[in-house]
Every structure is written in C-alpha cells, then in structure tokens.
Amino acid sequence: MTDVNQAIQQTFGNVAENYRHSVVHANGADLQHMIGLIQAVEGGRVLDVGCGAGHVAINAAPFTSEVVAFDLTENMLEQVKILAAERGVTNVTTRAGSADSLPFPDASFDIVATRYSAHHWQNPTQAAHEMARVLKPGGLCLISDIIALENPVHDTFLQTIEFLRDGSHVRDYRISEWTAFLSAVGLSVTVEFEWLLPLNFDSWVKRIATPPAKVEMLRLLMGEATVEIRQMFAITPDSFSIPGALLIGRK
C-alpha cells in the first residue's frame, strides 16, 4: 500500500462520521445532476468509486437494481451502512479497495460514478482505464470533483490550500486533463456543467480535522492573497469558493 493510501485511510478513518453529516457532501446541484443521469438508465447497476459516506450511492439506490459503494477506507464504508439503514435502503452493498484496481469483471456496470474523490488518486490514467473496463458498452462514467483552473497562478493557489488542509490530497485535475484521461481509454467526453462551490472556512477545516498550525497557515495564505486570487476564489474572512465540474464519459 502506498504512503498516500495510508494517509487517506488514517485521515478519513478518523473523521468518517463527519462526512455522513456534511451538508456539502449530502447536497449540491452536481449530485442532483448525477442522480438524474442514473435515474434515466432505469434500473441499471451502479458502482460508486471513492464513495465516502455514500451520498451518491444512497441517493441513487431507489433508481437502480444495485449500487456497489466502493472506498479505500473501511470506516467510510461503515458510514455507508449506517446511512443506508437510516434511509431504509436495502440494495447498496459495500466493497473496499483502490480506484486503480477495481475488483470487478469487465463490463459489469451500467454506470460508474465518483464524486469528490478523484483528487486523491495518484494514478488517474489507471483509474480511468479501470472505470472504462468495468463499464458495459453504452455505459456512463460520471466524474464530479473540484477542478483545477488552466491558469497556472490559480492552479498553484488551489493545490496549495487543498494540500495544507488535507495531507492526503494529490491533485485537483483540470478539465483538459480529465478529457485526456477519459479519451485515452475510449470514452467520449462531455462537460455536463461547471460551478463554484461555496465553502465556509471553519466547517471546511473542522470536517477533516486540519491541525491548528495549518489552519493558521491557511488563514494567512488567504488573507495575504492578491486581489486577482481573492476575486477568483471569492475569498472573505469566513468563506471562499472553489471550482467544480461534472464530466460524462460515454463508452
């Protein structure tokens, strides 16, 4: 197991319950778009990669024959089970593992989805290959995540605050990068929509238990940001916004 995977398990294992209660993860226009796309498949089989506490899986369940909630962290999978029990959902199963090695047969899912997880992936090209491999012909790969901007200054700022907050962060990938990853494995790519995700600073750092010293570094970095950066990320003393996108890869 890689050092990053160990960091992910340690970090998220300790705060898994926070993500079951997270308003950011339980709601959002991107989540509603994803569920609408899943609902349109009418009873398909769905794989939720990097499922976290299971908000995609649980919301998708009423419209599917089965959802497999897949995550590296066992404590997160326990939150999926709790959330399923709270909602009365019975067609969600859990499985542990890494996105770059999916333990499923070829062409076994109608939809493969991932939300707010891919920025932890060290090998997105391999993960894209695995997601395409387990998709049935005509299937959909749905990727919703924070997206890096093409401007290098904006990109550097985003990656810096993400890593300071969470040491298991690898990279927010650009839309151009995701397009290349998915196209390389034979998927046709469209961008469903883009948005700015508003975040309350205190909730953002408390959710993942960012150490106090790094919280102070983040406050300093945001407080001393250039006018360009402050405008781009809508930085205030209490909040800021970061860009997201929902991409669809069609097999």
Identify the CATH number of the domain in which residue 58 sits: 3.40.50.150
Whether residue 212 lies inside any domain: the answer is: no
Cβ(188)–Cβ(131) below 8 Å: no
Whether residue 85 lies inside any domain: the answer is: yes
The predicted structure's pLDDT at residue 14: 78
Residues of the chain below pLDDT 70:
1-2, 4, 7, 13
Whether residue 131 lies inside any domain: the answer is: yes
The predicted structure's pLDDT at residue 2: 63
d(CA 247, CA 175) in angstroms, rounded, equals 8
Whether residue 225 lies inside any domain: the answer is: no
The predicted structure's pLDDT at residue 57: 98
Residue range(s) defining the domain that contains residue 56:
3-149+169-198+242-250
Whether residue 62 lies inside any domain: the answer is: yes
Q: Which two tokens stand for residue 119?
A: 């920025």
**Total domain count, the chain:** 1
Q: How far is CA 175 from CA 24, 74, 115, 132, 170, in A?
A: 21, 30, 15, 18, 16
Whether residue 140 lies inside any domain: the answer is: yes
Q: Across-strand partners of 95?
A: 70
The predicted structure's pLDDT at residue 7: 67
Whether residue 19 lies inside any domain: the answer is: yes
Long-range contact pairs involving 233-239 (C-beta distance under 8 Å, separation at least 24):
233/157, 233/158, 234/196, 234/198, 237/201, 238/200, 238/201, 238/202, 239/198, 239/199, 239/200, 239/201
Q: Which two tokens stand for residue 32?
A: 């509603």
Selection from 120, 123, 146 nearest residue 244 by Cα = 146
Burial class (CB in 10 A: 0-12, 13-18, 19+), 113: buried
Whether residue 229 lies inside any domain: the answer is: no
The predicted structure's pLDDT at residue 42: 87
Q: Which pTM was predicted?
A: 0.95
Taking the mean position of all CA atoms in its chain, how far away is CA 9? 15
d(CA 130, CA 127) in angstroms, rounded, equals 5
Residue with tokens 């499985």: 95
